[in-house]
Homo-oligomer: A and B are copies of this chain.
């Protein structure tokens, strides 16, 4: 991306440095691929800056351990052993969050999602991380498992310098309204259209 050029002059009264350091709400929506992978790609950048990163995997988590988790956990080990990069925590909802150790059935998913959001709110208030990835959180919002207005006001009013990335199809318009960056991943061609199923290394 070319640096330095911005389409319009800033009208927010901030210095360039203050704007540069704005904490961002980033949304990856759309029916195409790349929503989660791009979020985890951002985690690589944050790790390199030494940021504390919290990944909260909401829906896919019950199904399988994805490759990103192993790779980011390996980077967390690098951080702890050598000091390079930053710490990365990976929490998944599927069989109970890692901090609660609670086993969850399909029916308990809504409760687990709410519990996850309460924990994220607590961490945002305490400024635990610099980067939060709420993977597939749009579904949790869409299904009414969490209150959208609560999510929006919590993100909008969060203290300090905390970036939040939310992924999933059909992000709520209220979420998009407070997003600083929102990208729609649109499918142009897809092997599923030809009857292709997912494969390891590519889909997980």
Q: Which residues of A contact B (CB under 8 A)?
A: 1, 3-4, 6-12, 16, 19-22, 24, 26-30, 32-42, 44-49, 51, 60, 63, 66-68, 70-72, 74-75, 77-78, 84-85, 130-131, 163, 176, 179-204
Q: Are A188 and B183 in contact (CB under 8 A)?
A: yes
Enumerate chain B residues within 8 angstroms of A20, measured Cβ to Cβ: 196-199
Given A67-B49, A199-B22: A181 touches B185 (CB 8 Å cut-off): no
Contact assessment for B47 and A71 in the assembled complex, using a CB-CB cutoff below 8 Å: yes
Q: Which residues from chain B contact A197 at a C-beta distance below 8 Å?
A: 3-4, 6, 16, 19-20
Q: Beyond A71-B44, A201-B49, is A185–B185 a contact (Cβ under 8 Å)? A: yes
Q: Report the separation of the CA atoms of residues A42 and B183 in the bound assembly, to the nearest whole angstrom.
A: 18
Cβ B186 vs Cβ A45 within 8 A = no
* Assembly CA distance A34 to B40 (angstroms): 10
Given contacts A3-B198, A181-B189, 13 further A-B contacts (CB under 8 A): A1-B60, A1-B198, A4-B197, A19-B196, A32-B183, A45-B66, A49-B200, A70-B85, A78-B78, A176-B189, A180-B189, A180-B191, A183-B186
The smallest C-beta distance from A57 to any residue of chain B, in angstroms, reads: 13
A-B contact pairs, 5 of them (CB 8 A): A4-B197, A19-B191, A34-B185, A46-B67, A77-B78
A5 to chain B, nearest CB (A): 8
Distance to closest chain B CB from A143 (angstroms): 14
